[in-house]
Amino acid sequence: MSFMLSQLANISRSPGDPKVIETGPSSLKPADSFGRALGWFSMGLGLTELFAPKVLTRWLGVEGKEGLVRAYGAREIASGVLCLSVNNDYGAFSRVAGDVLDLATLAAAYNDDNPKKRNVGLAIAAVAGIAIVDAIAGQSIRSLHSRKGEPVRDYSDRSGFPKGVGYSRGKASGRVPQDYHATPAAAAASPTTGETSPASADLILEVSA
Amino acid sequence: MKALVWHGKEDIRYDTVTDPQIEEPRDAVIKVTSCAICGSDLHLYHNFIPAMMPGDVMGHETMGEIVELGPEAKSRGNLSVGDRVVIPFTIICGECDQCKRGNFSVCQRSNRKADLAEKVFGHPTAGLFGYTHLTGGYAGGQAEYLRVPFADATHIKVPDGIPDEKLLFLSDILPTGWHAAMQADIQPGDTVAIWGCGPVGQMTIRSAILLGAEQVIAIDMLPERLSMAEAAGATTINFLEESVTERLTELTGGEGPHKCIDAVGSENHVSFSQPDTMYDRLKQITLSENDRGHVLREMIYNCRPAGVISIIGVYTGLVDKFPIGIAMNKGITFRMAQAHVNRWTDDLLHRIEDGQIDPSFVITHKVPLSAGPEMYRTFRDKQDSCIKVMLQPA
């Protein structure tokens, strides 16, 4: 897919620009790709819940709960946005929290009065399975990007001053060019004499006129 | 040739691509000997900067040897095949009004997609290597070869006998740190607070010391970065362990730093202990804000009245909750820009040669170009105490 897009983008490149011939290893790891797939799944499910809640309420035998399903749809979309962001571990874990909420809601609908009890049972099984997948995905993404447990290197021997800080300190003192002076750059143009205001006499200006 | 190529968010690949070719008389092609991953490459990696296209070659910190020259590059630039050059991240014509004033990062002629940039920025900025189509869409230097437009003006000629490690960072982070210090107008005796101890922050710390700052305060959260800052003589603040405001107040006798420098930019750390960072991240995720403004807010709040704030960290667009009222009433001077690299490189090369500074201290990982995709992830996740990655083609 990406290779095709890069070929398409070549239309806008000039003749001397490099163009992709063959793609190689990527920085994107399977855990991240899977996290994104969960994100798109969330977006799809969320949009369905938001715009076609009756399809779900009818199938689950909970007609009249469309408002609740729409609210869950908005939540699902928020999880999807997080899953598609660079903080996709939070996205996956927000899905786990959503799955728990879904399970609690479905459990309430799993009763003998509900003619679609069997469908609710199927939904509970599906959500429970997805919750496990979400939790594994979140954990995989987090451990991929984590630096926890790694020893921290000490760079206190890297001063960047080969002859010592003492040699370099102030070596460029006074080398800020005139056009880079931020403070009284107007001193030369508008000199003070103290004639009108004694406070303006003997000012300490960093930049000489 | 081989190159690191952008294919989408967090998707950098080690691809085979066609070799770059001379297009204009002022072009040159260099064989890359060393290149690096820059913190601002992460903005592209995260797709926070718009107008990247699949197939774009990454990288704007590059050096190498000239292998091919356009006729005008040869005559105008006193360049020859075989010359050793560092290539700044900014492409410059050297002839426009801005270039003549030393404002190279806003060169008026080098952005070949000026129409696009005008719509976003009002006026175009300079063309940049490997850095979105808003800045020309030029192929970058994380590759075996690089075409250098306006090569006669853009290049920095460097002598033989000095290793790449000491010279490579003339392309960006050393002059960028220097520029940040210059913008802050650091005077002997100043207290300078620097937010961010990544590679640019580290160079800014050294620049402030070279300029004679009496006290340099470095703010970050990563212990390895703070240890590197301390090595140069900086006093450090770990913002996850202590209050930045309380420590700055204590270290400056209640007056605040004379000069504050933002070496963080749009992607500051997000933590529960700093609620505004959570707010910004939420807005960023929902595309209602581009940049996270925590560092800007903290600098404005802590800067001494009539002080100076220098912004060198990259921002991409709109920022929310910007306390302009505090800044105005405190009489703070702001100065900001992408570094005008070529303005500073003569001076900085001499300082390297004199042993006043050796920028190679910042390299924590030196790997082949083929390891680039993996190193993007390592660098982004700050794993293995990674601060700066240097890449070398096979």
ipTM score: 0.92
Name chain B contacts of A175, Cβ cutoff 8 Å.
Answer: 211, 347
Name chain A contacts of B143, Cβ cutoff 8 Å.
Answer: 18
Q: How many residues in chain B?
A: 394
Give how far B122 is from chain A: nearest CA, Å. 23
- Average pLDDT estimate for A130-145: 96
- Domain extents for chain A? 28-144
Residue B79, CA distances (Å) to A100, B26, B89, B155 in order: 67, 11, 19, 9
Residue A2 has pLDDT above 90, yes or no: no
> In percent, how much of chain B has pLDDT > 70?
100
pLDDT at position A209, please?
32
pLDDT 10s digits, B63-76: 999 999 999 998 88
Which H/E stretch holds residue B182? helix B173-183
Instruction: Give the mean pLDDT of chain B.
Output: 96
Q: Please check whether residue B351 is in contact with residue B357, taking contact to mean a CB–CB distance below 8 angstroms.
A: yes
- Residue B240 DSSP label: T
* CA A74 – CA A177 distance, rounded (Å): 56
- Average pLDDT estimate for A10-23: 91
| Cα dihedral B237, B240, B246, B248 sign | positive
Name chain A contacts of B102, Cβ cutoff 8 Å.
Answer: 179
Q: B314-332 burial, b for 16+ CB within 10 Å, e for fewer?
A: bbbeebeeebeeebeebeb
Residue A126 has pLDDT above 90, yes or no: yes
User: Which residue segments constitute the domains of chain B, with CATH numbers given?
Assistant: 2-172+340-392 (3.90.180.10), 176-336 (3.40.50.720)
Give how far A182 is from chain B: nearest CA, Å. 6
Residue A139 has pLDDT above 70, yes or no: yes
Q: Could you say which of B7, B46, B211 has the minimum Cβ distance to residue A172? A: B211
Q: Please check whether residue A152 is in contact with residue B383, taking contact to mean a CB–CB distance below 8 angstroms.
A: no
Among chain A residues, the shortest Cα distance to B310 is held by A182
Q: Give CA angle at B361 (B360, B365), nearest 5°.
A: 80
Residue B332, helix vs strand vs coil: coil
Name chain A contacts of B139, Cβ cutoff 8 Å.
Answer: 17-18
* CA B270 – CA B278 distance, rounded (Å): 6
Q: Could you say which of B137, B358, B384 has the minimum Cβ distance to residue A160? A: B358
**A18, B185: Cβ pair inside 8 Å?**
no
- Residue B242 DSSP label: S
Higher pLDDT, residue A182 or B138: B138
* CA B94 – CA B107 distance, rounded (Å): 8
Instruction: Band the pLDDT of B329: cuts 50, 70, 90.
Output: very high
Name chain B contacts of A27, Cβ cutoff 8 Å.
Answer: 10-13, 45, 373-374, 376-377
Type of residue found at B225: R
pLDDT 10s digits, B170-219: 999 999 999 999 999 999 999 999 999 999 999 999 999 999 999 999 99
Residue A94: phi and psi, rounded to 5, are -65, -30
Tokens representing B35? 């290149």
Residue B313: phi and psi, rounded to 5, are -60, 145
pLDDT 10s digits, B216-227: 999 999 999 999
Residue A13 has pLDDT above 80, yes or no: yes
User: Which of A4, A6, A42, A203 is best to mutate for the B interface (most B CBs within 10 A)?
Assistant: A6
Which H/E stretch holds residue B92? none
Instruction: Band the pLDDT of B57: cuts 50, 70, 90.
Output: very high
pLDDT at position A187, please?
61
Give how far A174 is from chain B: nearest CA, Å. 7
**B227, A19: Cβ pair inside 8 Å?**
no
* CA B169 – CA A57 distance, rounded (Å): 62
Burial class (CB in 10 A: 0-12, 13-18, 19+), A117: middle
Give Cβ neighbours of residue B215 (< 8 Å, ≥ 6 apart). B190, B191, B192, B235, B251, B252
pLDDT 10s digits, A143-160: 999 988 889 999 999 999
- Residue B197 DSSP label: -
Give how far B380 is from chain A: nearest CA, Å. 9
pLDDT at position B78, please?
83
Name chain A contacts of B235, Cβ cutoff 8 Å.
Answer: none
Tokens representing B55? 């197939």
* CA B98 – CA B107 distance, rounded (Å): 6
* CA B294 – CA B289 distance, rounded (Å): 13
pLDDT at position A51, please?
96
User: Which of B272, B357, B376 is best to mutate for the A interface (most A CBs within 10 A)?
Assistant: B357
* CA A193 – CA A189 distance, rounded (Å): 13
Q: Please check whether residue B214 is in contact with residue A178, taking contact to mean a CB–CB distance below 8 angstroms.
A: no
**A24, B16: Cβ pair inside 8 Å?**
yes
Residue A206 has pLDDT above 60, yes or no: no
Give how far A108 is from chain B: nearest CA, Å. 33
Among chain A residues, the shortest Cα distance to B54 is held by A6
pLDDT 10s digits, B370-394: 999 999 999 999 999 999 999 999 8
How many Cα neighbours within 13 Å face the side chain of B224?
18
- Average pLDDT estimate for B305-332: 95
pLDDT at position B306, please?
94
Residue A112 has pLDDT above 60, yes or no: yes
- Average pLDDT estimate for B305-323: 95
**A15, B45: Cβ pair inside 8 Å?**
no
pLDDT 10s digits, A64-102: 999 999 999 999 999 999 999 998 999 999 999 999 999
* CA A94 – CA A2 distance, rounded (Å): 28
For tokens 């620009």, the residue is A17
Q: How many Å is the maximal CA-CA distance in chain B?
A: 61
* CA A1 – CA B330 distance, rounded (Å): 53
pLDDT at position B336, please?
97
**A20, B15: Cβ pair inside 8 Å?**
yes
Residue B69, helix vs strand vs coil: strand
Higher pLDDT, residue A190 or A70: A70
* CA B369 – CA B355 distance, rounded (Å): 29
> Could you give the strand order of the β-sheet that contains B2-8, starting from the edge strand earlier in sequence?
A20-22, B11-17, B2-8, B56-57
Name chain B contacts of A24, Cβ cutoff 8 Å.
Answer: 2, 13-16, 373
Residue (of B194, B190, B142, B150) closest to B168 by Cα position? B142
Name chain A contacts of B186, Cβ cutoff 8 Å.
Answer: 176
Model pTM greater than 0.90? Answer: yes
pLDDT at position A182, please?
75
Residue B25, CA distances (Å) to B75, B105, B150 in order: 10, 22, 8
Give Cβ neighbours of residue A163 (< 8 Å, ≥ 6 apart). B355, B356
Name chain B contacts of A85, Cβ cutoff 8 Å.
Answer: 285
A46 phi-psi bin (left φ>0, alpha ψ -120 to 50, beta other): alpha
Name chain B contacts of A28, Cβ cutoff 8 Å.
Answer: 8, 10-11
**B227, A156: Cβ pair inside 8 Å?**
yes
Give how far A104 is from chain B: nearest CA, Å. 27
Residue A58, CA distances (Å) to A51, A54, A77, A128, B155 in order: 14, 6, 22, 21, 69
Q: Which of B39-53, B275-289, B349-363 ranks highest by mean pLDDT?
A: B349-363
**B7, A5: Cβ pair inside 8 Å?**
yes
Residue A189 has pLDDT above 90, yes or no: no
